[in-house]
Structure 1
């Protein structure tokens, strides 16, 4: 082989290796609210699958608790590691803003889930339409209560953006549509802890005889409330609705101690986040016809930097055995 040909072949081989190494070196990292929770374990499955489908290494990390500084530290570590993209489900949107801004300044793509309006996010990705999601809840709760009676809302924390947005929208639509329904007390920040939501439910049942429903915008709240219903034999008297992993809630759904799950599959959120991050890393534009496999077609709002789907899952006694 001539020297010129050998050099060309050698250069081609080295270039291919460099390109492969460069592609492999890219990393997309999703940060959950807390590590080890079934909801976020399921989310991680979607993140990893998207990495396999897009060819960019994608994985999830999470803090040991829901204190905002824990997520801040994880982001700082990922900035130091020089990852390519960070997506996050914030515990406290305001507390995270300075470090997310720092990530952006370091050339890292930033995506959020459940944090519409996060200033430093390139895009926020929502698997459900927030307004319609709240209406879905109002209608299902009203159906069970006959349009009247007291309820309480559980959120993961008073600074968790999405949970509190859903709570605000629920109350708005409840007042417009069913004025004889009412909050027995202000929202409670217990939706991400089974023991806390169980104890809170037991306390509220004693304090408020007019309490007819628990609505949880966090995946552990329905489990705790359902356990309280089971413990005090309140099935049919206290209705429990909420976000959930069907497999975790299965026994309580089957026995009727949880009335209904109104939720979505967190794997779809993980998949959407990592897929959009991969598109941006590859220089692909986000257009109005954006469609993500297994998730669907997005409603793209450029001004709000929002990609919104609506893939609601109702978990009932009738379909629980068919769900993952």
Structure 2
């Protein structure tokens, strides 16, 4: 499909005063501020008309003597699917993003699935490179399992958070996840598919951005062969049923499709949902791009059907 009309105008508007300075060329603090400004907007009338969701910040002991902050979203009322819980890991290239940038997305997830959602404020690169973010993700998933025992536990995330979610599923198989939700996941640090993508530049996320993100997250090239980083080449056998969402104009689209193919070859039930006409980051655009909201709804319906009653 053609690029969504609203996204085409957004990209043109961003370039109206010349080529915008990419996040990778800004100081990290400034890049985080810009990401948050772009992600957080006032609640719309549609948001307020939706099911009520209560949010509460919690603290727990993290790895290596750290304190881990979580935000727990509880739909009011829980509804018939109240036996579900989701551990959610935000995107942002392992460098940006936080609980606030993904607050709206987590509320939609909780309301749509009738599930408690535990969002994770994991440590970020470059201050805390791999494996610190992954260790935080695993600690959070274990906290969720202890706090909400007996529920169907979904491990989920978008972009860098999807990478952490899959890494957690591989490293913490004993948790017995009921499902995985991976939204435009980066799974190949070699960037072979990203570099050859027809959408490697000009569509918000670029191949150069991904190279920079990996350089912050895994600065030691030797560690990029770890199975928790080189996810496309990991042993995927025995993983929980998975929904993978991609965007047509995302340089990571081919990686997501290849991941699904390899999951299926490994005997994993995997469903692929492609956001036609969309770009990387559509999860955070639901209030301004109707096609992004519609795609997210399709993705969550797939997950809902996968989980069953």
TM-score normalised according to structure 1 size = 0.36
Higher share of residues assigned helix: 1
Q: Which has the larger radius of gyration?
A: 1
TM-score normalised according to structure 2 size = 0.38
